[in-house]
A and B are shown apart, each in its own frame.
Chain A
Amino acid sequence: MIWLFVLLWPLLGIKPEGLEVATTFSVWWRIAIGCASILVIYQLNSVGAFNFITKPVGEAVGGAKKATSTLPFAVWAFAILAFAVAYPHLFGRYAQDVAINCMIYICLGLGLNVVVGLAGMLDLGYIAFYGLGAYTYALLSVHYKLAFWICLPISAGVAGLGACIIGYCSMRMRGDYLAIVTLGFAEIVRMVLNNWMSLTNGPNGITGIKAPGMYWPDFANGMTLEHLWLKKLSLIYYVILALVIFTIIAVYRLNHSRIGRAWEAIREDETAAEVMGIPTFYMKLLGYCTGACFGGMAGAFYAARMRFVSPESFTFLESAMVLSMVVLGGMGSIPGVILGALALIALPEIFRDFELYRMLVFGGVMTLMMLFRPQGLLPPKRRMKAEKD
């Protein structure tokens, strides 16, 4: 613990203007006090000094849990859905913007969850499929003026095709090797996007992408259908909300199908699965492509929402971010991944003032999580139940 602080002090002081130790001292001091007090509280708690508080609180939490568990799942889903639908009317532009961002990452997280959480393949280049989807829509929209809704499945398909090609070559590998291959693939995709000037306009990116359009009954002119560009933020919000719901349902169905179980079996013991007659190669390829399709869809939406794409948005850091969400939330668990995405996208927005320390806190939280709750915030429920009874 002490060496952390010894290191922290000079690190905080490194600024573009050179070392600036004095001003960061106050910040360092605050962090130190915070950590020390947490440590003291933790110690006291472990010897039982707070029993008089924690006991009633624990009982109350237990009671609340019982109350919530008696409410059927449908009520919960409905309440959350109602809140999600009402959201743009309740909050301003900025909050909507954050929510849209969050939901893009939820889509990505759920897609990657199929690959990492279910099929157990460590994919460090997932963002490549996001990029493929985004550029597919961008190019089709700018050059061929194709509508968003047509391009959405095409983008998913292109990402899936990319995954098939890379997967076909690398699915025979296991574990760490696969991780390196996917990492390399993502870099290749980014480099191509960056350097193929004639097609992608290189680092300058592509502008002039159309927003999603929709036919809307126009009552003023009688009952004609009028074409409407969904440029307003709240309308865009509903598009991604629909995408998220679609993704959740699709992933849920996969999760509870025989295919989902086969993925899990492969994750647990690939050789045993093979001897049992599960076609491991094709199942893994299928998992990889399915995950990529969700990534491609999220990418197409991203392009439509920003109306601009550039290779910068598809760096390794983004892959790592999505992977962190899946790990933080709990591998293989849909609510977990959603929570992970909310935690990693929404919380930094709330604590915008401390932007400087974001990565620091991020690293710290991940380390603590792995130490104290390696299964994630909300691990898959089915297993929990299975272990209890």
Chain B
Amino acid sequence: MSEPILELRDVHAGYGSIKALKGISIKVMEGEIVSIIGANGAGKSTTLMTICNIVKATAGDIYYKGGCINKVASDSLPSMGLCQVPEGRRIFPRLTIEENLDMGAFFRNDNEIADDMERVFAMFPILRERRRQAGGTLSGGEQQMLAIGRALMSRPKVLLLDEPSLGLAPLIVKQIFDIISEINKLGTTIILVEQNAKVALSMAHRGYVLETGNVVMEDEAKKLLDNPDIQKAYLGE
């Protein structure tokens, strides 16, 4: 089998005395959608934040494209093709939508930024309509689209999505997940953190289950969906 594009090897991390990750190992192959599920406080967001080096790993190594990125500054990861859409969207509320998108391409200096913005607008037509409106005035779903669009502006190879369905109506959730699938088909590897385990697993290739800072299960997404334990604990059946 080929090399994984992103790999966590026995990563520990935490906040002060709180240990949030107690030795996590995750492999992500190029072109995959990998879903990470788990209860509240299991350490899913911390995992993504540790990959991005916002939270420092206290032990273990993180490899991206074969190189160790433990010491790489958070703000130089997007230019390497690793970009996160953080939990709760976190757009820049007082910048307009265009400016928000432009910030996603901040490190870029080429003249294709306008083209990429057009591509994002084609993907989310509602954003084009509101392009000069302040980001904070968008609805929750529109803000999620903006957050994803902003991350796409960095032309990511690996996109980390933290609960994109948070607080959205089922119809919008479906729309967002369709777009995530589409982004994946265009060649972007995706790590998807979700509470909404059913939808997440049904679109992912593989899945990891986190519990209090440990990986308790990893398998193909279909098998996880059929697993009675998982069904009981996370799918509410």
Distance in angstroms from A21 CB to nearest chain B CB is 50
Tell me whether B134 and A386 are in contact (CB under 8 A).
yes
Report the bound CA distance from A382 to B96 in whole Å. 9
Instruction: Verify if A276 is at the interface (C-beta below 8 Å from B).
Output: yes
Tell me whether B134 and A277 are in contact (CB under 8 A).
no
Tell me whether B137 and A387 are in contact (CB under 8 A).
yes
Digit string of A242-269 for contact with B (CB within 8 Å is 1, else 0)? 0000000000000000100110110011
Instruction: Verify if A280 is at the interface (C-beta below 8 Å from B).
Output: yes
Instruction: Verify if B209 is at the interface (C-beta below 8 Å from A).
Output: no
Residues of chain A with a CB closer than 8 A to B103's CB? 261-262, 265, 273, 276, 278
Interface residue from A265, A268, A275, A386 paired with B86 (Cβ < 8 Å): A275
Task: Pick 8 A–B contacts, CB within 8 A, sort by A.
Answer: A271-B86, A272-B90, A273-B75, A274-B54, A275-B74, A276-B151, A278-B106, A386-B133
Tell me whether A276 and B78 are in contact (CB under 8 A).
yes
In which size bucket is the chain B interface? 20 to 34
Tell me whether A277 and B95 are in contact (CB under 8 A).
no
Tell me whether B134 and A383 are in contact (CB under 8 A).
yes
Instruction: Verify if B79 is at the interface (C-beta below 8 Å from A).
Output: yes
Instruction: Verify if A176 is at the interface (C-beta below 8 Å from B).
Output: no
Give the residue name and chain of the A residue nearest to B154 (CB): A277
Known: A275-B54, A277-B83. A265 touches B75 (CB 8 A): no
Tell me whether B107 and A275 are in contact (CB under 8 A).
no
Tell me whether A280 and B75 are in contact (CB under 8 A).
yes
Known: A261-B102, A262-B103, A278-B106. A268 touches B75 (CB 8 A): no
Digit string of B137-161 for contact with A (CB within 8 Å is 1, else 0)? 1000000000000110010000000
Instruction: Verify if B218 is at the interface (C-beta below 8 Å from A).
Output: no
Residues of chain B with a CB closer than 8 A to A383's CB? 94, 134
Instruction: Verify if B76 is at the interface (C-beta below 8 Å from A).
Output: yes
Known: A271-B86, A277-B83, A386-B134. A264 touches B94 (CB 8 A): yes
Report the bound CA distance from A258 to B78 in whole Å. 17
Give the residue name and chain of the B residue nearest to A386 (CB): B134
Residues of chain A with a CB closer than 8 A to B21's CB? none
Interface residue from A265, A268, A274, A382 paired with B74 (Cβ < 8 Å): A274
Residues of chain B with a CB closer than 8 A to A10's CB? none
Report the bound CA distance from A270 to B74 in whole Å. 12
Known: A277-B154, A386-B132. A272 touches B86 (CB 8 A): yes
Report the bound CA distance from A271 to B89 in whole Å. 12
Give the residue name and chain of the B residue nearest to A266 (CB): B92
Instruction: Verify if A279 is at the interface (C-beta below 8 Å from B).
Output: yes
Instruction: Verify if A389 is at the interface (C-beta below 8 Å from B).
Output: yes
Interface residue from B93, B96, B151 paired with A268 (Cβ < 8 Å): B93
Tell me whether B74 and A269 are in contact (CB under 8 A).
no
Question: How many A residues, CB 8 Å from partner?
Answer: 24
Known: A268-B93, A269-B90, A269-B92. A276 touches B154 (CB 8 A): yes
Distance in angstroms from B54 CB to nearest chain A CB is 6
Tell me whether B106 and A277 are in contact (CB under 8 A).
yes
Interface residue from B76, B77, B96, B102 paired with A386 (Cβ < 8 Å): B96
Tell me whether B132 and A276 are in contact (CB under 8 A).
no
Distance in angstroms from B170 CB to nearest chain A CB is 27
Instruction: Verify if B91 is at the interface (C-beta below 8 Å from A).
Output: yes
Report the bound CA distance from A261 to B97 in whole Å. 12
Tell me whether B134 and A258 are in contact (CB under 8 A).
no
Distance in angstroms from A118 CB to nearest chain B CB is 11
Tell me whether B134 and A387 are in contact (CB under 8 A).
yes
Distance in angstroms from B102 CB to nearest chain A CB is 7
Report the bound CA distance from A264 to B96 in whole Å. 11
Residues of chain A with a CB closer than 8 A to B104's CB? 276-277
Give the residue name and chain of the B residue nearest to A269 (CB): B90
Distance in angstroms from B197 CB to nearest chain A CB is 24
Tell me whether A275 and B84 are in contact (CB under 8 A).
yes
Residues of chain B with a CB closer than 8 A to A389's CB? 132-133
Distance in angstroms from B92 CB to nearest chain A CB is 4
Residues of chain A with a CB closer than 8 A to B32's CB? none
Instruction: Verify if B224 is at the interface (C-beta below 8 Å from A).
Output: no
Instruction: Verify if B99 is at the interface (C-beta below 8 Å from A).
Output: yes
Residues of chain B with a CB closer than 8 A to A272's CB? 86, 90-92
Instruction: Verify if B52 is at the interface (C-beta below 8 Å from A).
Output: yes
Distance in angstroms from A121 CB to nearest chain B CB is 16
Interface centre among A261, A262, A268, A386 (most CB of B within 10 A): A386
Digit string of B106-145 for contact with A (CB within 8 Å is 1, else 0)? 1100000000000000000000000011100100000000
Interface residue from A261, A264, A274, A386 paired with B75 (Cβ < 8 Å): A274
Distance in angstroms from B104 CB to nearest chain A CB is 5
Tell me whether B84 and A277 are in contact (CB under 8 A).
no
Report the bound CA distance from A278 to B150 in whole Å. 12
Report the bound CA distance from A161 to B92 in whole Å. 31
Give the residue name and chain of the B residue nearest to A384 (CB): B134
Report the bound CA distance from A386 to B134 in whole Å. 5
Residues of chain A with a CB closer than 8 A to B84's CB? 275
Residues of chain A with a CB closer than 8 A to B91's CB? 269, 272
Give the residue name and chain of the A residue nearest to B48 (CB): A275
Report the bound CA distance from A174 to B93 in whole Å. 19
Report the bound CA distance from A383 to B96 in whole Å. 8
B188-227 interface (Cβ within 8 A of A): none
Residues of chain B with a CB closer than 8 A to A258's CB? 102, 106
Tell me whether A271 and B95 are in contact (CB under 8 A).
no
Distance in angstroms from A367 CB to nearest chain B CB is 25
Tell me whether B54 and A268 are in contact (CB under 8 A).
no
Report the bound CA distance from A53 to B103 in whole Å. 48
B27-64 interface (Cβ within 8 A of A): 52, 54
Residues of chain A with a CB closer than 8 A to B77's CB? 277
Give the residue name and chain of the A residue nearest to B99 (CB): A261
Give the residue name and chain of the B residue nearest to A383 (CB): B94
